[in-house]
Amino acid sequence: MLTPPRSKQLRIGHLLLHPQRYAKLLGLAGYYRRFIKDFLKIAKSFTELTQKNKKYIWGKDQETAFQLLKQKLCEDPILALPEGNNDLVVYCDASHQGLGAVLMQREKVISYPSQQLKPNKENYTTYDLELEEVVFALKI
C-alpha cells in the first residue's frame, strides 16, 4: 500500500512526541482512509490529541491505535476495482460519532468510505444519518 521507504519508516515507528507529528501521521493515513476498514474508529484517539484545547497525553489507547494504524498502512489492500455501475451494494453504519460504509460489487470490497459527523448533523435521526452515508459512499 505504501511505497517501500515510507513503509519501512512507519514500521520503525519512532515514538511520536509532538502533536504536529500526529497531524502528519493523520494526513498520511487520511490519504489511504478509504482502503482501511474502520479508519475513523482507529484514528479517533489521534484526532483528539491534535485538538488545541486538549491536554497532550500519550496513553494506552493511542499506542494501540498507532500500532493498528501502522499495521493497516503496511498491509496490501484487498480491494477490487469496480466493473461498470452494475450490482453495487452499500452497507452502512451510522452513529453520532461518525459515518462508515462498505461499498461492494459482486462480493468484492471496492471501498471503505467513512467520515466524522459534523456538529450540525449531531441531532439527525439514525435513518437520516444512514441515508447521508449512502449518498457519501456513492459519491466516491
CA angle 103, 30, 99 (to 5 degrees): 45
In residues, how long is the chain?
Answer: 140
pLDDT at res. 2: 46
pTM for the full model? 0.56
How many CB atoms within 10 Å of residue 3?
A: 8
Q: Please, how many CA atoms are within 13 Å of residue 22, restricted to the half-sphere of its CB?
A: 20
Question: pLDDT category, 12, cuts 50, 70, 90?
Answer: very low
User: Where is pLDDT greater, at 84 or 78?
Assistant: 84
Close Cβ partners of 124 (under 8 Å, ≥ 6 residues apart):
132
pLDDT at res. 76: 65
pLDDT at res. 77: 66
Domains along the sequence of the chain with CATH: 4-74 (no CATH), 88-139 (3.10.20.370)
